[in-house]
Amino acid sequence: SRETLMSLLREIVFVEPTLVGLLGGCALHAACWLAIHNWEWGGMKHIKHAVQKYLPYKTIQRNFDGDPAVELFGMEKDPGLVYVWNAGVILHHTIGGVLCLAGWYFGQPWLFRHGILTEVAGLDVLDLFYRVPLCFLAPPGPYPTSTLIKEGGKFAPYFYLQFFHHSVGMSVGFVSILYFAHLPDHQWFGFILMGGPFLAIAPGMLANLVPPEYYKVMIDTIPLGYDMNRYEGTIRGYDAMRSDPI
């Protein structure tokens, strides 16, 4: 009946802590972010085009040349694409962070739930249950996930970090949505986690726009967030794991 249908839609729109609300909310965010994060025909295609057309892309490429992030993401063919990747990360976390903040500010748990689902369903679920499996079932699979899987079944370093990140994200995110979304302190904490990467990545992205000789001075003298654009510590840790297997 119409009343039943409206009740189901309400559960989905407001991400009620029910099976229908949770699965429906996940499907909604997965569909939206599947389109936004698609590099072939979706939002990332247009972001990539805008970066290459309106920003000093050759300068960006030169600044990323030799950067450990290039190996981490498997983007050796075009180091500048790491910048485009980071632009997508900022978009994703900014929208999620704004929704979490709105939930806290207006006292609306359903907005907070949408903010968390931006991460859980819009990234974690899509990567683990769609993009990565598709790379094996229908190679090469969707870009840029396909860059993480090398010839011979080897993985780029970020693949392992991605698997860990998404596993933790889903475990914490679903519990947060079901049991803690109504708590103001938890909503604020969710905003910090979702919105924090913007403050961490944005300064480095601005620094990438200056010529290499000035860029090097900036990254050596100015703390750029937690240095998301360089990843030296991550690479060193990954190299140590490879050289000293358990």
Structure tokens at 46: 């247009």
DSSP string, 101-170: HHHHHHT-HHHHHHHHHHHIIIIIIHIIIIIHHHHHHSTT-STTGGGGB-GGG-B-HHHHHHHHHHHHHH
**Cα–Cα distance, 224 to 119 (Å, whole number):** 24
Residue 221's pLDDT is 62
**Cα–Cα distance, 191 to 79 (Å, whole number):** 31
**Cα–Cα distance, 86 to 68 (Å, whole number):** 14
pLDDT (average), residues 51-72: 92
Confidence of residue 234 (pLDDT cuts 50, 70, 90): very low
Residue 241's pLDDT is 43
Confidence of residue 240 (pLDDT cuts 50, 70, 90): very low
pLDDT (average), residues 97-114: 96
Structure tokens at 17: 């802590």
Residue 131's pLDDT is 93
pLDDT for residue 154 is more than 80 = no
Residue 151's pLDDT is 62
CA 184 to chain centre: 25
pLDDT for residue 182 is more than 70 = yes
pLDDT (average), residues 82-105: 95
Residue 228's pLDDT is 45
Residue 163's pLDDT is 86
Residue 15's pLDDT is 95
pLDDT for residue 229 is more than 60 = no
Tens digit of pLDDT for each residue in 81-90?
999 999 999 9
* Averaged pLDDT of the chain: 86
Angle between helices 81-106 and 184-207 (to 10 degrees): 150
pLDDT for residue 57 is more than 90 = yes
What separation in angstroms does the CA of 104 have from each of 44, 94, 216? 29, 15, 39
Confidence of residue 203 (pLDDT cuts 50, 70, 90): confident
Of 191 and 148, more confident: 191
pLDDT (average), residues 207-226: 70
pTM: 0.84
pLDDT for residue 42 is more than 80 = yes
Residue 242's pLDDT is 47
Residue 236's pLDDT is 42
